[in-house]
Protein backbone atom coordinates (compact mmCIF):
# COMPACT_ATOMS: atom_id res chain seq x y z
CA UNK A 1 0.00 0.00 0.00
CA UNK A 2 2.92 2.33 0.70
CA UNK A 3 4.16 2.07 -2.92
CA UNK A 4 0.68 3.15 -4.12
CA UNK A 5 0.80 6.27 -1.93
CA UNK A 6 4.28 7.14 -3.21
CA UNK A 7 3.24 6.59 -6.84
CA UNK A 8 0.05 8.64 -6.41
CA UNK A 9 1.94 11.50 -4.75
CA UNK A 10 4.56 11.50 -7.50
CA UNK A 11 1.87 11.60 -10.18
CA UNK A 12 0.02 14.46 -8.45
CA UNK A 13 3.27 16.44 -8.25
CA UNK A 14 3.98 15.83 -11.94
CA UNK A 15 0.59 17.05 -13.11
CA UNK A 16 0.72 20.08 -10.83
CA UNK A 17 -2.15 19.18 -8.49
CA UNK A 18 0.21 19.32 -5.51
CA UNK A 19 2.70 22.16 -5.10
CA UNK A 20 6.35 21.31 -5.13
CA UNK A 21 8.02 19.67 -8.10
CA UNK A 22 5.38 20.66 -10.65
CA UNK A 23 6.88 21.86 -13.91
CA UNK A 24 6.96 25.64 -14.55
CA UNK A 25 4.26 27.12 -16.74
CA UNK A 26 4.83 27.37 -20.47
CA UNK A 27 3.03 29.08 -23.32
CA UNK A 28 3.06 27.22 -26.63
CA UNK A 29 2.77 29.07 -29.94
CA UNK A 30 2.58 27.06 -33.16
CA UNK A 31 3.99 28.35 -36.46
CA UNK A 32 1.54 27.76 -39.32
CA UNK A 33 1.87 27.85 -43.12
CA UNK A 34 -1.26 29.98 -43.55
CA UNK A 35 -2.65 33.13 -41.98
CA UNK A 36 -2.60 33.95 -39.09
CA UNK A 37 0.84 32.18 -39.23
CA UNK A 38 1.18 32.02 -35.44
CA UNK A 39 -1.39 30.27 -33.27
CA UNK A 40 -2.36 32.14 -31.19
CA UNK A 41 -1.52 35.27 -33.20
CA UNK A 42 -1.98 37.42 -30.10
CA UNK A 43 -0.72 35.55 -27.06
CA UNK A 44 -0.50 36.42 -23.38
CA UNK A 45 1.66 35.06 -20.60
CA UNK A 46 2.63 35.99 -17.06
CA UNK A 47 6.16 37.08 -16.18
CA UNK A 48 8.29 34.02 -15.52
CA UNK A 49 6.48 31.84 -18.06
CA UNK A 50 8.56 30.08 -20.71
CA UNK A 51 7.36 30.83 -24.25
CA UNK A 52 7.88 28.05 -26.80
CA UNK A 53 7.38 28.34 -30.56
CA UNK A 54 6.99 25.08 -32.47
CA UNK A 55 7.67 24.78 -36.21
CA UNK A 56 5.70 21.85 -37.69
CA UNK A 57 5.90 23.41 -41.19
CA UNK A 58 8.21 22.05 -43.93
CA UNK A 59 10.29 25.27 -44.12
CA UNK A 60 12.63 27.32 -41.92
CA UNK A 61 11.32 30.32 -39.95
CA UNK A 62 12.58 32.80 -37.37
CA UNK A 63 11.04 34.33 -34.28
CA UNK A 64 12.44 37.86 -34.18
CA UNK A 65 11.36 40.60 -31.78
CA UNK A 66 10.68 43.80 -33.76
CA UNK A 67 13.13 45.63 -31.48
CA UNK A 68 15.95 43.62 -33.03
CA UNK A 69 15.57 45.49 -36.33
CA UNK A 70 14.54 48.88 -34.97
CA UNK A 71 16.20 51.18 -32.47
CA UNK A 72 14.65 49.36 -29.49
CA UNK A 73 16.26 46.64 -27.42
CA UNK A 74 16.32 43.14 -28.92
CA UNK A 75 14.38 40.89 -26.52
CA UNK A 76 14.69 37.65 -28.55
CA UNK A 77 15.84 36.38 -31.94
CA UNK A 78 15.73 32.66 -32.65
CA UNK A 79 17.85 32.49 -35.76
CA UNK A 80 16.65 29.88 -38.22
CA UNK A 81 14.24 27.30 -36.80
CA UNK A 82 14.28 24.14 -38.92
CA UNK A 83 11.16 22.09 -39.66
CA UNK A 84 9.99 20.11 -36.60
CA UNK A 85 12.23 22.16 -34.29
CA UNK A 86 11.34 24.56 -31.48
CA UNK A 87 12.57 27.82 -29.98
CA UNK A 88 12.03 28.71 -26.32
CA UNK A 89 12.47 31.97 -24.44
CA UNK A 90 12.77 31.03 -20.74
CA UNK A 91 10.91 34.16 -19.58
CA UNK A 92 10.41 37.82 -20.38
CA UNK A 93 9.67 40.85 -18.22
CA UNK A 94 6.19 42.41 -18.47
CA UNK A 95 5.60 44.27 -21.72
CA UNK A 96 4.29 44.02 -25.27
CA UNK A 97 6.48 42.19 -27.77
CA UNK A 98 5.63 42.40 -31.47
CA UNK A 99 7.57 39.83 -33.48
CA UNK A 100 7.90 38.49 -37.01
CA UNK A 101 9.69 35.94 -39.19
CA UNK A 102 12.76 37.49 -40.86
CA UNK A 103 12.46 34.99 -43.73
CA UNK A 104 8.74 35.67 -44.29
CA UNK A 105 8.00 39.26 -43.08
CA UNK A 106 4.25 38.82 -43.62
CA UNK A 107 4.29 36.47 -40.63
CA UNK A 108 3.64 38.61 -37.56
CA UNK A 109 2.56 37.99 -33.97
CA UNK A 110 2.17 39.82 -30.67
CA UNK A 111 3.12 38.55 -27.24
CA UNK A 112 1.97 40.37 -24.11
CA UNK A 113 3.67 39.49 -20.84
CA UNK A 114 1.81 40.64 -17.73
CA UNK A 115 2.49 40.58 -14.02
CA UNK A 116 1.07 37.51 -12.29
CA UNK A 117 -2.68 37.83 -11.77
CA UNK A 118 -3.14 40.33 -14.59
CA UNK A 119 -3.43 38.16 -17.71
CA UNK A 120 -5.91 38.98 -20.53
CA UNK A 121 -7.59 36.21 -22.54
CA UNK A 122 -5.90 34.54 -25.55
CA UNK A 123 -7.13 35.41 -29.07
Q: What is the pLDDT of residues 54-97, one digit of tens each?
A: 999 999 999 999 999 988 899 999 999 999 999 999 999 999 99
Total domain count for the chain? 1
CB-based contact 39:30 (threshold 8 Å): yes
Query: What's the CATH code of the domain at 32?
Result: 2.60.40.420
Question: CA 116 to CA 35: how far, in whole Å?
Answer: 30
Looking at the domain assignment, is residue 1 inside a domain? no
Looking at the domain assignment, is residue 82 inside a domain? yes
Position with higher pLDDT, 7 vs 112: 112
Looking at the domain assignment, is residue 120 inside a domain? no
Question: CA 121 to CA 44: how far, in whole Å?
Answer: 7
CB-based contact 17:77 (threshold 8 Å): no
What is the C-alpha R_g of the chain?
17
Look up the pTM and report it.
0.75
Looking at the domain assignment, is residue 12 inside a domain? no
CB-based contact 29:52 (threshold 8 Å): yes
State the burial class of residue 113 (Cβ atoms within 10 Å of its Cβ: 0-12, 13-18, 19+): buried
Domain region containing 92: 25-114
Looking at the domain assignment, is residue 20 inside a domain? no
The pLDDT tens digits of the residues spanning 13-35 come to 444 444 444 455 899 999 999 99
Amino acid sequence: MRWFTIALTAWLLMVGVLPGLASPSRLRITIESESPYFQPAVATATAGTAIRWENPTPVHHTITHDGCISEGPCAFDSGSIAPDETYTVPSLPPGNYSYHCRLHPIMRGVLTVSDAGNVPAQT
